[in-house]
Structure 1
Amino acid sequence: MITREQIPIVLDHPVYDADGSKVGDAKHVFFDDASGQPEWVTVKTGLFGTNESFVPMRGAHMVEDHLEVTVSKDRIKDAPNVDVDSGGHLSEDEEHRLYEHYGINWDEAWQQANDPDQAGWASPGEELPGNTAAEAAAVGGTAADTRRSRDDAMTRSEEEMHVGVERQEIGRARLRKYVVTEEQQQTIPVRHEDVRVVREPVTDAELDDALSGPEITEAEHEVTLHAERPVVETRTEPVERVRLSTEEVTEEETVTGTVRKERIEADYENNEDDRRT
């Protein structure tokens, strides 16, 4: 069990669940209104500790520099949303919701919290150790009210915005190969044979051959003509390799958020005129 003397050690220290997994950091301790016993601890969870969940202190104990609780991390993250800025006091409805979420019997919890002989709990009305305003504000309303009579300082707090990034899928790219048909033109030279009549006078050397035939007769002579024509043939040739690659591009993006800040003003009452009369 966690005693009042251990509260300053608990605050701002890591909190681990029943399986030894870190849940977050302890921020506030809430006490039972009737007995004054430490009953709940709030733990900062989520990205950059943006969520604060209530965790039962029943069965919790300190191990070296961290607090170990008896419930699982998943159950803590799914705990009902209860306003932490409630002046250190939980309503009966809020407590019922928390008890129901963690499977704690309301009647048994009330009897155990109000048993003055229970070991490990501080007695009702016992004062917390230390006397700083920061400690008083951190542990909730009961302790803060006790401290307020011993410290005339007021603590001012404000929220800070912490912005991070998370990686998410925004789309997909794929390669798809398909076939298209297009017309191409190419000019090539082609040859063909033409016939022409060549007339040559008979020379003295050819005179004997020319007189060897019949004197006057009919005859025919035939030649074969040739021509070239274009022939189209296609062949598949590899021309390039195509693949997909990704590259990271960094750009500036402005994020707008809302934070709350406390302001402290002083009111003065001047009784000087009353003293003069």
Structure 2
Amino acid sequence: MHSDIDPRSLIGRKAFDRRGTRIGTVDEVYLDDATGIPEWAAVRMGLFSRDAFVPLEPSELAGDALHVPFDRSLIKDAPDFGVGRHLSPEQELQLYHHYGLDVAPPPPLDLEADRLAGTEEV
């Protein structure tokens, strides 16, 4: 997913699974806390069903539709955290594991900054 896409432009777009089967409509977009880049989309899977979180990377925007490279059944079984709330790091980790995606390791500690701030233990 390109980072220059306005997340608001994704809302209301139809979403399709890897086989081209319609899975629903993008209801909300969640941004990465650190970068502000769109990271997850909540897709409403039916009139009376819940929203399912799908990763925007490695999904693709083609025309006016979001194409998610996973089967509908896997998407439907994604952990349900409800929408309209912030995703915690633990919830994101559960979603990454559910989709079998690699999770980037945390950035290395900046020990030099700690020494400069006077927080280094002796």
DSSP 3-state at the match of 1:76 = helix
**Change beyond 3 A, Cα 1:54–1:2:** same
Q: Which residue of 2 aligns with 1:20?
A: 20
Find out whether 1:91 has 2:100 as its counterpart.
no
DSSP 3-state at the match of 2:69 = coil
After superposition, the CA RMSD in angstroms is 1.8
DSSP 3-state at the match of 2:61 = strand
Mapping 1:185-196, distance limit 5 Å = none
Counterparts of 1:71 and 1:6, CA distance in 2? 23
DSSP 3-state at the match of 2:5 = helix
Does the CA contact (< 8 Å) of 2:15 and 2:65 recur in 1?
Answer: yes
Q: Which runs of 4+ in 1 moved over 3 A?
A: 2-6
Q: Which residue of 1 aligns with 2:114?
A: none
* Displacement after TM superposition at 1:77 (Å): 0.2
TM-score (norm 2): 0.78
DSSP 3-state at the match of 1:33 = coil
Q: Deviation string for 1:88-111 (max 9, x for gaps)?
A: x21122112111111112236x67
Structure 2: runs of 5 or more not aligned: 108-122
Task: Give the number of the structure with larger relative contact order, counting CA–CA contacts within 8 Å between residues 6 or more apart.
Answer: 2
Q: Deviation string for 1:196-249 (max 9, x for gaps)?
A: xxxxxxxxxxxxxxxxxxxxxxxxxxxxxxxxxxxxxxxxxxxxxxxxxxxxxx
* Displacement after TM superposition at 1:57 (Å): 0.5
Q: Could you tell which deviates more after superposition, 4-13 or 66-75?
A: 4-13
* Displacement after TM superposition at 1:24 (Å): 0.1
Q: Which residue of 2 aligns with 1:53?
A: 52
Identity of aligned residues (%): 33
Q: Which residue of 2 aligns with 1:8?
A: 8
* Amino acid aligned to 1:42: A
Q: Which residue of 2 aligns with 1:105?
A: 102
Mapping 1:1-277, distance limit 5 Å = 1-46=1-46, 48-86=47-85, 89-107=86-104
Does the CA contact (< 8 Å) of 2:93 and 2:103 recur in 1?
Answer: yes
Q: Deviation string for 1:8-33 (max 9, x for gaps)?
A: 33211100111111100001110111
* Amino acid aligned to 2:5: E
* Displacement after TM superposition at 1:4 (Å): 4.2
Counterparts of 2:88 and 2:14, CA distance in 1? 27
Counterparts of 2:32 and 2:8, CA distance in 1? 18
DSSP 3-state at the match of 1:20 = coil
Does the CA contact (< 8 Å) of 1:32 and 1:38 recur in 2?
Answer: yes
TM-score (norm 1): 0.36
Counterparts of 2:104 and 2:64, CA distance in 1? 33
Q: Tell me the matched-pair count.
A: 107
Indicate the structure (1 or 2) with the bigger Cα radius of gyration.
1
* Amino acid aligned to 2:38: P
Counterparts of 2:80 and 2:58, CA distance in 1? 22
Q: Which residue of 2 aligns with 1:148?
A: none
